[in-house]
Amino acid sequence: MSDKSHDPNQMTGAAMIVRALIDHGVTDIFGYPGGAVLPIYDEIFQQSEVQHILVRHEQGAGHAAEGYARSTGRPGVALVTSGPGATNMVTPLTDALMDSIPLVCISGQVPTHLIGNDAFQECDTVGITRPCTKHNWLVRDVNDLAKVLHEAFYVATTGRPGPVLVDVPKDVQFATGTYHPPRKSDVHRSYAPRVKGDATQIRKAVALLAGAKRPVIYSGGGVINSGPEATRLLRELVEVTGFPITSTLMGLGAYPASGKSWLGMLGMHGTYEANMTMHDCDVMLCVGARFDDRITGRVDAFSPGSKKIHIDIDPSSINKNIRVDVPIIGDCGNILGDILQVFKAEAKKPDIKAWWQQIAQWRARNSLYYRKSNDVILPQHAIQSLFEATRGRDTYITTEVGQHQMWAAQFYGFEEPHRWMTSGGLGTMGYGLPAAVGVQVAHPDSLVIDIAGDASVQMTMQEMSTAVQYELPIKIFILNNQYMGMVRQWQQLLHGNRLSHSYSEAMPDFVKLAEAYGGVGIQVHKPGDLDGAIQEMISVKRPVLFDCRVASLENCFPMIPSGKAHNEMLLPEQANDEATAKAFAGGKALV
């Protein structure tokens, strides 16, 4: 035996992976074993610092890691095998890329000598995941592994966060090499995200803000990604300036929904007041958001009279969709701090009383109005009841994608960041249930609810089994209308009510399904039974499938028909057949 055998940094590739996880403070990972990761699973078996959560499908591991990341602010980690294990990760990786979620995926690969041979469970993982990761690596030499793993964590969590993937062939996992703890030189010298905002730009921004007559702050997920300090500073800026604030779907919770300057969410299904404020403002401060098409509506009619300030850590977000006047590149926490400092030193709170009066008139339109019923549960009512029942509790909400997601964004009030996990950019049906698993792992004593639709939830239903295995008492609150509600809504509004394949004729019995998994099933039909059933759901300390039968043909309003401007919203009380036909007349938008 050589002296090297006593060197504690000499170890196998598989051991390095577990060691690197520990060195990066990882306590929980989500994964699924297979041939090409068996050496890593063998290492996991022989230690207790990293807890492994066995999912039922690799997509579930990815979304669970996303939920874990978004609810903690720490990177989520997934471990999958080669071939199908890796391809099943493509959806969560893309989801995390679109929503800027720090995710580290470690995938097994066939041994290096078999790469390119069409070996069993081989696929070109780095090739397939190149466009859906912030960066990825194939490690061919065990002595590169430590450096790559450390760089992977650094890249995932710094700058604009995002998913990364490290592909490790099985022979590299078995080979012995030298490990080193994380160090600065592990990172590409070419990677240096800009954090500090340009001082001249910040002064220009403050000058615009101080002179504003009709200002608005439009914040996004970047504020939450930046960390608690950015949230605090955003709230302080709203306080100091007295400006109205709206937020994207991703940004909910950065400013409290109960705050007096809150306009509600903006965009396609945002409130009337938020969208009108955006349309008519003279100064717009966009913080950590990216002028997505669901936000802007028709771009050439987007907020035509305003000067736009855009804070973003990613230079490629600037001027991508909307040309802005004052771009500031850097971390939004940092820049908000600088703006506040200059504003407090040199500017006075502008008098915008008249603007608030105008906003009050828009608010009075009550754009989230819906007609309650004594016979049938309205989905909006169900979410309001859920919100009332969980208000003040330590609650985390995840969602799937569709009508229920928009209603949740409209009717559930978020007071804090990291409490709202939803697939915004990619719009991944099936995100919410596994995400809830991940959130519950990170917060075992909190109330974790997936507000779901009956169609979405069936895409990743198998993760109920994970929840039961690890005694994760997630609550799956299904707004069951038997339709793919948002698809049906668009078919009704845009395709002559030809409901092509948007109705699920064979719906499972969710109560029996819950029981089959070893969870608890609850079903409710009548509005009068709703509150009691929700209380029952909350008090059960096991996974629950809550089958809330709701009005099947309810539409989600208000709505900016896509391709239209913010001031062309369709409000619920106007949404009779004639007005709807008119709103969508002259053509329909492509997206």
Partner 1 sequence: MNQPASAYFIEERHDPNETHTLSVLVQNEPGVLARVIGLFSGRGYNIESLTVSETESQKHLSRITIVTTGTPMVIEQIKHQLDRMIPVYRVVDMTLTKRSIERELAMVKVRGQGEHRVEALRLADAFRARVIDATTESFVFEITGNTEKINQFIDLMRPLGLVEVSRTGVAAIGRGPEGM
Cα–Cα distance, 163 to 147 (Å, whole number): 17
127 binds partner 1 (CB under 8 A): yes
- 483-502 residues in contact with partner 1 (CB under 8 A) are 494-496
3-state secondary structure at position 372 = coil
Q: Is 113 in the site for partner 1 (CB under 8 A)?
A: no
- Regarding 582 and contact with partner 1 (CB under 8 A), the answer is no
Nearest CB to partner 1, comparing residues 8 and 587: 587
Angle at 82 between CA 78 and CA 88, to 5 degrees: 60
Cα radius of gyration rounded to whole Å, the chain = 25
Tokens of 343: 């504003």
- Of the candidate residues 183, 323, 371, 391, the single one contacting partner 1 (CB under 8 A): 323
- For position 570 contacting partner 1 by CB under 8 A, the verdict is no
**Site for partner 1 contains 289 (CB under 8 A):** no
Active site residues: 58, 120-121, 170, 486
Sole window of 72-80, 90-98, 315-323, 390-398 interacting with partner 1 (rule: CB under 8 A): 315-323
* Contact pick of 9, 47, 117, 319 for partner 1 (by CB under 8 A): 319
Give the residue, chosen from 281, 318, 382, 435, that forms a contact with partner 1 under the rule CB under 8 A.
318
Name 505's Cβ contacts closer than 8 Å, sequence gap at least 6. none
CB of 267 to partner 1, least distance (A): 17
Quick one: 141 or 346, whose CB is closer to partner 1?
Answer: 141
- Looking at 24, 134, 475, 566, which residue binds partner 1 (CB under 8 A)? 134
Angstrom distance (rounded) from CA 484 to CA 470: 30
Q: If you ran DSSP here, which 8-state letter would residue 3 be given?
A: G
In the DSSP assignment, the letter for residue 425 is: S
119 lies in the binding site for partner 1 (CB under 8 A):
no
Q: Are strands 176-178 and 10-12 parallel, antiparallel or unpaired?
A: antiparallel
For position 115 contacting partner 1 by CB under 8 A, the verdict is no
Per CB under 8 A, the segment of 254-262, 317-325, 480-488, 568-576 that binds partner 1 is 317-325
**Binding status of residue 299 toward partner 1 by CB under 8 A:** yes
- Is 130 or 183 the residue whose CB approaches partner 1 more closely? 130
Neighbours of 264 (CB within 10 A): 21
Q: Binding string, 176-195, against partner 1, x = CB under 8 A? A: ------------xxxx----
568 in contact with partner 1 (CB under 8 A): no
- 1 exposure class (CB count in 10 Å sphere: 0-12, 13-18, 19+): exposed
* Residue 526 found at the interface with partner 1 (CB under 8 A): no
589 touching partner 1, by CB under 8 A: yes
Hey, which residues does 546 pair with through a beta bridge?
477, 522
Tell me the C-alpha distance between 33 and 80, whole Å.
6
**Residue whose token pair is 């060195």:** 23
Residue 238: exposed, middle, or buried by beta-carbon count in 10 A (0-12, 13-18, 19+)?
Answer: buried
- Which element (helix H / strand E) includes 386? helix 379-390
Q: Which of 20, 155, 457, 569 binds partner 1 (CB under 8 A)?
A: 155
- In which order are the strands placed within the sheet that holds 544-549? 420-421, 395-399, 447-453, 475-480, 544-549, 520-524
Q: Which residues bind partner 1 (CB under 8 A)?
A: 126-127, 130-131, 134-135, 138, 155, 160, 188-191, 298-300, 314-316, 318-320, 323, 494-496, 563, 586-590
